[in-house]
Structure 1
């Protein structure tokens, strides 16, 4: 049997931390031998073992028993038979802890000395990936099975990295520790040692992680409209730099009830970037599923998010109203005029515009249908008339229509060629009766006003055929005796060149 002596504490004193039978921070056991450890404490305690050693191993045995004066303390013995190189690591005995309490434990690092296996872990054919970030600590974990083994760190193909106690530190219980990693350590590294004339090498490939997110997009528009019972599928696509890994999560109205299912995948076929996909699917949407759906993307400190809003309707519908209650008027010669209505519908209906009962777009090339609007280009007088918008959802036999009247105003024009011309020379017999005619056109019909501009009196004997200087102007009215007596001013409408003038 084995007899253990505990050092540093009498059996009658309280142990604030558990006490191990081995004093010191490290201990060496030859491969194949048995490791024996005993722990004593004021309460029941547990063991923490190296990751490479399973608590279910048949080589491991732990026995708990009462100890100390009157059996008021708790002890446990750990026995590991047929030890091997991979058993190398920390063995800890600890009290139960809570997040608020400080961890109370005692630890010893045990080397299992195996001359045939100087490294605890060997990666000779396929190197182990070590993630690194520039400026942060990085450990090359080439731990050894004995504390006195000399190890050399090399960067393949031929550079030797020498530990200087500052930029590179050797620790037999950790490996090579690099407090602040630089670009110098990016690449394939090798830990090498020679034991009994034989050289052993274990390899590590440093992977520099980046946090560059180029783009995040959703497959859906900013507003998604669905009918109750429809399925919703949103694909969130992230484009990131080659060495970037991302976390993709969703927040949405039915998240707590797990209404959606999420699948993720990565596409590394792109030569310049990694493309990540996260697809959220909600089957048979209900009222509870309406609201904002957000795709959150995180890579280290880099955070991005995109969202869409989902609206769920009970049934299909079309609501159609006039946008303006005032009369619709345009002016001939205008570059364009838009006829538009207030439309709210689901799903999007088919749109037809009629002009005086005939399809507008077929009637004139100047008529262009854009969404729910009709755009009239280069407005002309003949564009006046009745316009009807017809909205329909044929598969549900649902339709609505609305008719509006457009008036096209034409600026007033005086047709000089239609004015009665005076025979040459421009002379009239004093006291004679004359009839003057003015022909005008416009929409609405223009108002005509006659003006008289009398010439200044010419006292010279020289006769002039034209009046170059006037003495002001007068508005002429029927019965006026100012200057020339106006017998009458009359208006009438006549069709001239196909227009009412």
Structure 2
């Protein structure tokens, strides 16, 4: 029955959940009814596919007929769809450590649909694949509804790209290591032919640039009289695909008594190779309350900031 493990409502569980399906995968046809049963010594919960079966799903839990001390939990999916493709996992409800491999069992279910080859098809609008700096491996997630489908990964145009390796996994899609610059130059397409019909799904890989530097504040006047207008401009630099959001910290930023005191406008200048992000702060009719320190900082990096002290005179 498997090894003993602890953590379920302070009880010992003598067995890992067992499924009625043997092996690690099964292929079924779309449009039918799918039944799967999980056995265990306590209450069981299910997760599967994209988790959107809704009223198409029915779960029945009862003592197993061959052993009343064991709980049988039967999951039924009616009118199966391509989007149900994925891991079906049964696990104990009240486990202290959900990472414990003895608390759950999974099987991968392909819901074969010749009219929907890809589990999720991105045709009218490509799926953006964000690639972080230093990432060596990029996954193009064109999962399929049948393990036998032959899929090709291509650039949208006739150009090609080089790579360290390119591996196909029908449960994940294409796994590409160290792709060349051309990989990011245009859209990608996963292409499959089934029964003479071509199926395509589009993807747009984008490298996210985290380089942020050279932050500074420009100003019209550092010393003002009451009633004057204060204008501050904060500037920071990044590169292609970089994103910077500049925030201001100052005395009246949350003012409720004079809500029209201030205005903040942001814009991005996309030059080459430097992108500049601007945040302009304007305060009309300054008062003595506007004396003090003004800080401009990048939202996700408090170390990247600049500041200036503004002095307001009464006369």
Report the number of matched residues: 293
Task: Indicate the RMSD between aligned Cα atoms, in angstroms.
Answer: 4.5
Give the distance between the partners of 1:264 and 1:16, measured in 2 at CA: 61
Q: How big is the shift at 1:36?
A: 1.8
Partner of 1:80 in structure 2? 77
Q: Deviations over 1:286-311 (max 9, x none)?
A: 99x97674523448xx9622234578
Name the SS for the 1:216 alignment partner: strand
Q: How big is the shift at 1:82?
A: 0.8
Name the SS for the 1:185 alignment partner: helix
Give the distance between the partners of 1:249 and 1:30, measured in 2 at CA: 53
1:213 partnered with 2:215: no
Name the SS for the 2:23 alignment partner: coil
Give the distance between the partners of 2:73 and 2:221, measured in 1 at CA: 64
Equivalent runs, 1:295-444 vs 2, <5 Å = 295-298=297-300, 304-308=304-308, 346-347=312-313, 393=315
Give the distance between the partners of 1:294 and 1:99, measured in 2 at CA: 43
Partner of 1:361 in structure 2? none
1:199 partnered with 2:201: no
Partner of 1:92 in structure 2? 89
Do the aligned partners of 2:2 and 2:16 also contact (CA within 8 Å) in 1?
Answer: no
Give the distance between the partners of 1:29 and 1:20, measured in 2 at CA: 16
Give the distance between the partners of 2:36 and 2:313, measured in 1 at CA: 75
- Structure 2 unmatched ranges of 5 or more: 4-11
Alpha-carbon spacing, 1:160–1:61, altered in 2? closer, same or farther (3 Å): farther
Q: Deviations over 1:296-332 (max 9, x none)?
A: 3448xx9622234578xxxxxxxxxxxxxxxxxxxxx
Name the SS for the 1:86 alignment partner: helix
Alpha-carbon spacing, 1:216–1:113, altered in 2? closer, same or farther (3 Å): same
Q: How big is the shift at 1:267?
A: 3.3
Give the distance between the partners of 1:225 and 1:66, measured in 2 at CA: 81
Partner of 1:151 in structure 2? 151
Superposition TM-score, scaled by structure 2 size: 0.71
Partner of 1:417 in structure 2? none
1:243 to 234, 241, 244: 241
Partner of 1:340 in structure 2? none
Alpha-carbon spacing, 1:146–1:266, altered in 2? closer, same or farther (3 Å): farther
Name the SS for the 2:83 alignment partner: helix
Larger relative contact order (CA 8 Å, sep ≥ 6): 2
Give the distance between the partners of 1:37 and 1:141, measured in 2 at CA: 27
Give the distance between the partners of 2:99 and 2:223, measured in 1 at CA: 50
Name the SS for the 2:165 alignment partner: coil
Alpha-carbon spacing, 1:32–1:99, altered in 2? closer, same or farther (3 Å): same
Q: How big is the shift at 1:174?
A: 0.4
1:123 partnered with 2:89: no
Partner of 1:379 in structure 2? none
Q: How big is the shift at 1:99?
A: 7.0
Q: How big is the shift at 1:222?
A: 11
Structure possessing the higher radius of gyration over alpha carbons: 1
Between Structure 1 and Structure 2, which shows a larger proportion of strand residues?
2
Do the aligned partners of 1:247 and 1:297 also contact (CA within 8 Å) in 2?
Answer: yes
Give the distance between the partners of 2:130 and 2:32, measured in 1 at CA: 36
- Structure 1 unmatched ranges of 5 or more: 1-7, 312-345, 349-392, 394-501
Q: Deviations over 1:103-125 (max 9, x none)?
A: 64322221110111111122234
Q: How big is the shift at 1:146?
A: 0.2
Name the SS for the 1:58 alignment partner: helix
Do the aligned partners of 1:139 and 1:176 also contact (CA within 8 Å) in 2?
Answer: yes
More deviation, 203-212/234-243: 234-243
Do the aligned partners of 1:190 and 1:202 also contact (CA within 8 Å) in 2?
Answer: yes
